[in-house]
Structure 1
């Protein structure tokens, strides 16, 4: 039965092992075709098929050293074949690569069986939450863990830290430990253990790649000194603050500053006052020294 094609792009690619001396080989131009089960790199001389079940790593904009001089916007796919780990470096236009990578991660991770413990920790307190089985769902800058009881969503912007563990409910399954901020603004830890350990690596890679894109976007946001002071003050006080005294200004000026920060999607009004958005938290954590200067 024919497989549905989910991506079909033109680009250049290089397969490790094509050039045994590691230095003189050059990329080949051809078609990169992907279904939900395999990746095909095709040229006029033939094709190479990479089963997605053999993929163990995906890295964006990091070509192997000996071929870096040939490539710009790339994705490097690590896979196992004949007992060896090999890699395929693929290059195409920047937006095309981004779309290709997004589709690739969906094919690799969507629907995978996972064991979930949520929340494993809230703030500094360990929770006695049972481990349940579920399915992984990949969305734009978000993952969802779908179980019989609920759907746990984690936005990439809200991720604070990613680590690995090997103890989930008494089992030794390799586990992804994701620390993130929940909808109430609390630091929450969720444990995720896919059936196969390689999916732990792929899921961690997906979250880091997506987070790096968010961070790059946030770094482009320009802030005035009063706007920086607002972000740090909201972070330090939880939003319970007299902004007029803090900014030493009249009410109209304070309103203008707060509106400017709101329009940049860095703060949001809540029933308890003002809170940082995930983007606002990233700015405070990334630029804390600059803000305090």
Structure 2
């Protein structure tokens, strides 16, 4: 491993929760060093050292996907390696997770269809090879045709995995709904190995808010969201909801800061982002 380089070396806790396909009883978190390279993850404690080869990692799940009741430790992710599962809680976790995803899929080649859907309309777009690039808050795909596709994690409105025919064979496909520059809603479809799809699914889902209760919305915020979702022009919002223009502007600012709206022009025209449409739909459903 002459080209191996260290990406992170920090303290933390870790525990094996599944061994050879069976849940481990009497879980005990171990404290120690957590060392990440571009090839391996090494867990070092007083009981010894455990080395995980990254190419053997099948899935990663962030701390919102793992059952919180399993541990009092906050801020951790799970790794599945064959029939074993580990929970790892580095400190701090955010930067470590970014470097982990980089080590797992950055530079990998996948198949991309973009846009597969645009504005709700299925597009006649073919599959193309693309190289993956992972950043702190987005994943990019450099497509062989020269196209560059950016998916901001905070702007992901929906994520699903299905099986479809891809270049003549049935493969797992990751479908990501997000918003591109200009405010248009699109779907980007990604296929590759089952490992690629699983890890990318976890990454793009990390910042997704699927429930309106996950975000602090005031009654005024909800009124404005519902109006926008119903198709009311941003310029007509004050009259529609019976609010002063300045108050509506304040709501726009708050929703934009929460990643629900994107600003189209300085004249304060706004558009719901993919996340905003999901949240607004749930707000209306709760009425």
**Aligned equivalents of 2:78 and 2:246: distance in 1?**
48
Choose from 140, 143, 149 the match for 1:147.
Answer: 143
Q: Is the 8 A contact 1:234 1:241 kept in 2?
A: no
**Aligned equivalents of 1:139 and 1:124: distance in 2?**
28
2:283 maps to 287
Q: CA deviation at 1:153?
A: 1.0
Choose from 108, 111, 121 the match for 1:115.
Answer: 111
Q: TM-score, normalised by structure 1?
A: 0.80
Choose from 251, 257, 281 the match for 1:260.
Answer: 251
Per the alignment, in what secondary structure is the counterpart of residue 184 of structure 1? Answer: coil
**Aligned equivalents of 1:159 and 1:283: distance in 2?**
9
Q: 1:274 to 1:208 in 2, by over 3 A?
A: closer
Q: 1:92 to 1:143 in 2, by over 3 A?
A: closer
- Structure number having the greater helix percentage: 1
Q: 1:173 to 1:289 in 2, by over 3 A?
A: closer
Q: 1:259 to 1:123 in 2, by over 3 A?
A: same
| Larger of the two Rg values belongs to structure | 1
1:274 maps to 270
2:50 maps to 48
Per the alignment, in what secondary structure is the counterpart of residue 216 of structure 2? Answer: coil
Choose from 119, 126, 133 the match for 1:137.
Answer: 133
In the alignment, does 2:70 pair up with 1:75? no
Unaligned 5+ segments in structure 2 are: none
Choose from 181, 203, 227 the match for 2:221.
Answer: 227
What RMSD over aligned residues (CA atoms) do the two structures have, in Å? 3.0
Q: For each residue in 1:130-188, what CA deviation from the matched residue of structure 2 results, as whole angstroms up to 9, or x when unmatched?
A: 22111011123322110132101122223323232231243323221223333333332
Q: 1:86 to 1:102 in 2, by over 3 A?
A: same
Give 1:1-293 correspondences, 5 Å limit: 1=2, 3-15=4-16, 16-17=18-19, 22-61=24-63, 68-69=70-71, 71-80=73-82, 85-93=83-91, 96-148=92-144, 149-156=146-153, 157-194=155-192, 196-212=193-209, 219-223=214-218, 225-237=219-231, 239=233, 242-249=236-243, 253-265=244-256, 266-270=260-264, 273-278=269-274, 280-290=276-286, 293=287
Per the alignment, in what secondary structure is the counterpart of residue 90 of structure 1? Answer: strand
Q: For each residue in 1:29-69, what CA deviation from the matched residue of structure 2 results, as whole angstroms up to 9, or x when unmatched?
A: 2111010110111124431111000001112336679x924
Q: 1:105 to 1:185 in 2, by over 3 A?
A: same
Unaligned 5+ segments in structure 1 are: none
Q: 1:276 to 1:218 in 2, by over 3 A?
A: farther
How many residues in Structure 1 have an aligned counterpart in Structure 2?
276
Q: 1:78 to 1:169 in 2, by over 3 A?
A: same
Per the alignment, in what secondary structure is the counterpart of residue 144 of structure 1? Answer: strand
Per the alignment, in what secondary structure is the counterpart of residue 210 of structure 1? Answer: coil
Q: 1:31 to 1:240 in 2, by over 3 A?
A: closer
Q: Is the 8 A contact 1:14 1:89 kept in 2?
A: yes
